């Protein structure tokens, strides 16, 4: 019976997902790895696994090479930059993600961050908690311009929500013109988007091209009243450059749900900068999105082990014999 490792802490023995997998003839092993340090715990958990349903666990080439039975990995979300896909491909391991599974949750959260920054809600609540009663003018979203970096499922789900608030929407993307199907969105290049937007929201994947995309030169193009929102991947933003830009008034502020290193280190340049609010990677974390991710992830595991993955991001080589992963 294929052995399925489940590392996500919201999926538990005996739940619907567990019963689905066991009902398809698989054995499940639950090993939530949140908070564990180093790769050895992950290596130990994967040692006898044929497939794995994982969150943000760092599946490096070293870790994957020490999982002799592993045939399929399914990420219970969209981003898969924590997985060495090239190494998985060489080792005969299918890697899948779940595109669009939490797009609605991320879109709603993005609007929440836009509202919070525009109205200074964090500063107000903190002031009241400290015994004060701060009063300050905020800004309305109506009539402002939102620039979307990326045009994946989450960005597309933001569009009608932003427009319902009366915002104009620009977008920069590598999606071919044939995929830019919304005539209400104006597609522009990145410099134009940065210069024209009152709010810039990041929704792109982390790749070598997008790593550090928003650096000092990018912030120099933005309006001094503009705010950055990031619900995608922290490393898309040069954090030192962002801290400098907000501290000097080059841009007005930032709301970050993701950072390069999570949890946020004590010595992060983002700490202590008035105008930068950092949240704890909650954009896709709703009960509804997690339920959908569990259901879709389990179905993808079953399909991948049957040789018919629906959302594979690679085409693996034939699986080497056990012990021949060097």
Residues noted as catalytic: 233, 262, 281
Beta bridge partners of 54: 75
**Residue 82 CB burial class (10 angstroms; 0-12, 13-18, ≥19):** middle
Show Cβ contacts of residue 151 under 8 Å, excluding neighbours closer than 6 positions. Answer: 171, 173, 175, 179, 180, 203
Nearest to 268 by CA among 242, 245, 240: 240
- Rounded CA gap, 115 and 184, in Å? 22
Provide the pairing of β-strand 94-96 with 3-6: unpaired
- Rounded CA gap, 199 and 149, in Å? 11
Distance of CA 37 to the CA centre of its chain: 21
- Rounded CA gap, 251 and 228, in Å? 8
- Rounded CA gap, 259 and 270, in Å? 9
- List phi, psi (to 5°) of 29: -130, 120
Distance of CA 200 to the CA centre of its chain: 16
């Amino acid at each position: 019976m294929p052995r399925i490792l489940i590392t996500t802490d919201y999926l538990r023995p005996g739940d619907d997902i567990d019963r689905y997998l066991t009902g398809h003839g698989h054995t499940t092993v639950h090993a939530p790895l949140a908070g564990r340090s180093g790769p050895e715990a992950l290596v130990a958990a994967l040692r006898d696994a044929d497939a794995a349903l994982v969150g943000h666990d760092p599946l490096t080439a070293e870790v994957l090479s020490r999982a002799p039975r592993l045939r399929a990995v399914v990420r219970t979300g969209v981003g898969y930059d924590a997985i060495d896909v090239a190494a998985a491909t060489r080792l005969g391991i299918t890697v899948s993600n779940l595109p669009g599974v939490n797009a609605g949750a991320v879109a709603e959260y993005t609007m929440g961050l836009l509202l919070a920054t525009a109205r200074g809600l964090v500063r107000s609540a903190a002031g009241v908690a400290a015994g004060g009663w701060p009063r300050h003018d905020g800004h309305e979203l109506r009539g402002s311009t939102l620039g979307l970096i990326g045009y994946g499922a989450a960005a597309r789900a933001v569009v009608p929500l932003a427009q319902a608030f009366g915002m104009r929407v620009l977008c920069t993307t590598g999606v071919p013109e044939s995929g830019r199907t919304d005539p209400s969105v104006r597609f522009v290049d990145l410099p134009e988007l940065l210069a024209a937007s009152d709010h810039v929201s990041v929704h792109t994947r982390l790749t070598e091209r997008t790593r550090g995309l928003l650096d000092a030169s990018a912030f120099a193009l933005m309006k001094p009243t503009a705010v950055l929102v990031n619900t995608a991947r922290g490393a898309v933003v040069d954090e030192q450059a962002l801290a400098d830009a907000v501290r000097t008034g080059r841009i007005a502020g930032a709301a970050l749900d993701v950072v390069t290193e999570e949890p946020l280190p004590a010595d992060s340049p983002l700490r202590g900068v008035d105008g930068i609010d950092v949240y704890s990677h909650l954009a896709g974390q709703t009960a509804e999105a997690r339920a959908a991710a569990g259901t879709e992830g389990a179905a993808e595991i079953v399909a991948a082990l049957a040789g018919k993955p629906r959302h594979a991001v690679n085409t693996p080589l034939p699986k080497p014999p056990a012990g021949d992963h060097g």
